[in-house]
Amino acid sequence: MAKKPTFDYDLIVIGSGAGGSAAATIAAREGKKVAIVEEDTFGGDSPNWSDIPTKALLHAAQLYDKARRGARFGLRSNTLGYNYPSLRAWKDIAVKRTGAAGNRKFYESQGIDTLAGRAHFISPHEISVNRKHLSAGRFLVATGSHWVTPDIPGIDKITYLTPRTVLESIRPPKSIYIIGAGTIGVELAQLLAIFGTKVYLAEVAARILPKEEEEVGELLERLLREQKGVTSLTGTRTVAVVKDGLGYRVTYIRGGAEKSVRVDEVLVATGRVPSLDLGLENAAVTYDPTGIKANEFLQTSARHIYAAGDVLGHSSHTHTALLESRIAAHNLFHKTQLSPDYTATPRLAFTFPGVATVGFTEDDCIKRDLAIVTALAPINIIARSNTSDFRDGFVKLVANKSGVLIGATVVAPHAAEIIHELALAVKHGLTARQVAETPHAFLSWSEAVRVAAGKLVK
What pLDDT digit, counting tens, does each position of 46-64 carry?
888 889 999 999 999 999 9
Q: Are residues 384 and 442 in the same domain?
A: yes
pLDDT at 2 over 70: no
164-191 confidence digits (pLDDT tens): 999 988 899 999 999 999 999 999 999 9
Q: How far apart are CA 420 and CA 82, in angstroms?
A: 34
Q: Are residues 372 and 398 in the same domain?
A: yes
Q: In this structure, what are the phi and psi dihedrals at residue 333, rounded to the nearest 5 degrees? A: -125, 5
Q: How far apart are CA 318 and CA 302, in angstroms?
A: 25
Q: Are residues 198 and 175 in the same domain?
A: yes
One-letter amino acid at 312 equals L
Q: Are 301 and 284 in contact (CB under 8 A)?
A: yes
Q: Are residues 244 and 328 in the same domain?
A: no
Q: Is residue 165 part of a domain?
A: yes
pLDDT at 4 over 70: no
Specify whether the backbone of 174 is left (phi greater than 0), alpha (psi in -120 to 50) or beta: alpha
Q: Are residues 130 and 117 in the same domain?
A: yes
Q: How far apart are CA 346 and CA 341, in angstroms?
A: 13
Q: Are residues 250 and 169 in the same domain?
A: yes
How remote is the C-alpha of 234 from its chain's centroid? 21
Q: Are residues 280 and 131 in the same domain?
A: yes
Q: How far apart are CA 406 and CA 432, in angstroms?
A: 10
Q: Are residues 257 and 280 in the same domain?
A: no
One-letter amino acid at 151 equals D
Q: Is residue 2 part of a domain?
A: no
Q: How far apart are CA 84 and CA 106, in angstroms?
A: 32
Q: Is residue 244 part of a domain?
A: yes
Q: Is residue 401 part of a domain?
A: yes
DSSP code, position 214: H
To 5 degrees, how large is the angle CA 389–CA 393–CA 397? 140
- CATH assignment of the domain containing 287: 3.50.50.60
Beta bridge partners of 249: 242, 262
How remote is the C-alpha of 316 from its chain's centroid? 5
Q: Is residue 222 part of a domain?
A: yes
Of 214, 212, 213, 252, give the one whose Cα is nearest residue 235.
252
- CATH assignment of the domain containing 447: 3.30.390.30
Tell me what percent of the residues of the chain surpass a pLDDT of 90.
89
pLDDT at 100 over 80: no
pTM of the model: 0.94
Q: How far apart are CA 321 and CA 308, in angstroms?
A: 6
In the predicted model, what is the mean pLDDT of residues 237-261? 96
The predicted structure's pLDDT at residue 90: 95
Q: How confident is the model at residue 105 (pLDDT cuts 50, 70, 90)?
A: confident
Total structural domains in the chain?
Answer: 4
181's enclosing H/E stretch is none
Query: In whole numbers, what is the pLDDT of the chain averaged over residues?
Result: 94
Q: Are residues 307 and 370 in the same domain?
A: no
The residue among 228 and 448 whose pLDDT is bigger is: 448
DSSP code, position 155: G
Look at residues 249, 270, 291 and tell me which one is the last residue of a structural domain.
Answer: 270
Q: How far apart are CA 82 and CA 84, in angstroms?
A: 6
Q: Is residue 4 part of a domain?
A: no
- Domain of residue 180 covers 155-270
Look at residues 270, 286, 311 and tell me which one is the last residue of a structural domain.
Answer: 270
Strands (E), 337-393: 347-349, 354-359, 372-378
Q: Is residue 339 part of a domain?
A: no
When mean pLDDT is compared over 103-112, 143-152, 309-318, 425-434, the highest value belongs to 425-434
Q: Helices 51-68 and 84-97: crossing angle, nearest 10°? A: 140
259's enclosing H/E stretch is strand 257-263
Strands, sheet with 236-244, edge to edge from the N-terminal-most edge strand: 236-244, 247-254, 257-263
Q: Are residues 181 and 40 in the same domain?
A: no
pLDDT at 102 over 70: no
In order of 36, 41, 113, 290, 341, the CA distances from 9 in angstroms are 10, 23, 10, 29, 29
Q: How far apart are CA 97 and CA 89, in angstroms?
A: 12
Q: Are residues 117 and 167 in the same domain?
A: no
Q: Is residue 150 part of a domain?
A: no
Look at residues 333, 366, 383 and tell me which one is the last residue of a structural domain.
Answer: 333
Beta bridge partners of 258: 253
Q: Are residues 20 and 135 in the same domain?
A: yes
Start-to-end C-alpha separation, the chain = 73
In the predicted model, what is the mean pLDDT of residues 317-341? 95
